Amino acid sequence: MTVVREPAAGPGSPRRSSGRSTVRALSTVLIVSGLLLLADAVLTVVWQEPLSALYARIQQDKLDGQLDDLARQAPTVVDRRALAELPDGDSRLAFAARSLDRRARAGQPIGRIRIPRVGLSKVVVEGTGTDDLKRGPGHYPATVLPGAPGTVGIAGHRTTYGAPFRRLDKLRRGDRIAIDMPYGTFTYRVERTRIVAPTATEVVRRVGYDRLVLTACHPLYSAAQRIVVFARQVNAREGGGLI
């Protein structure tokens, strides 16, 4: 019986050309993937992690609308009666702050923080859990809301999820921080900055005056410590639909 053998693939055969094309395509994919990973690393070091930043941006856009809806809400009949009996603006602000505090749920928008020195303007959500801080700076539930006597505590990321507090270390004594709530606007002046251990919960304790405390991980790309900014309230102004 005669066996017919197929000719060996020559240098220009379709089989070998197909193999080279596959290798080139795989090489291109690997090179592009490597460049993307490098770009991601560079952006993270220079600015912030891009994928989580996109997520945070989408969340902030949603929170903007929700905060606008909250600001347009009128006080309830019961709240109107209570507000009418209060003697001054400070009392009304404190009442509105406590009222919102009772109703706020984790992840919901409660106000907006503005720090001109570092170009920050972000919606603040209730809570400092992992999911809460993915959406924006988060209010420590154990602290009061602006308007109520005591310490307002807000935490935020420095390298991921929009990195709202990345530049806290750039704040200096006297810098202005404003928080716009649905019932009023509150202005604070930076007094000092401290680096503390993550367990130093005493930084948000109540003191003898109304203040704001901002916290974030320190140094960048590490959770070994916390950077804490202390600011004193210097002005409070009524406004919005909840008062």
Mean confidence (pLDDT) of the chain = 88
The tens digit of pLDDT for each residue in 95-115 reads 999 999 999 999 999 999 999
For position 242, what pLDDT does the model report? Answer: 82
Query: Cβ of 41: how many Cβ atoms within 10 Å?
Result: 11
CA distances from 103 to 69, 98, 99 (A): 15, 9, 7
What is the value of pTM for the model shown? 0.81
One of 3.40.50.620, 3.40.50.720, 3.30.1540.10, 2.40.260.10 is the CATH number of 48-238, namely 2.40.260.10
Cα–Cα dist 145/137, whole Å:
14
- Greater model confidence, 47 or 117: 117
**CB-CB contact of 95 with 145 (8 Å):** no
Torsion of CA 220, 202, 184, 73, to 10 degrees: 90
- Which whole number is the average pLDDT over 223-240? 96
pLDDT at 13 over 90: no
CA distances from 218 to 98, 136, 164 (A): 32, 18, 14
Kindly report the backbone phi and psi dihedral angles of residue 12, in degrees, each rounded to the nearest multiple of 5, phi listed first: -105, 20
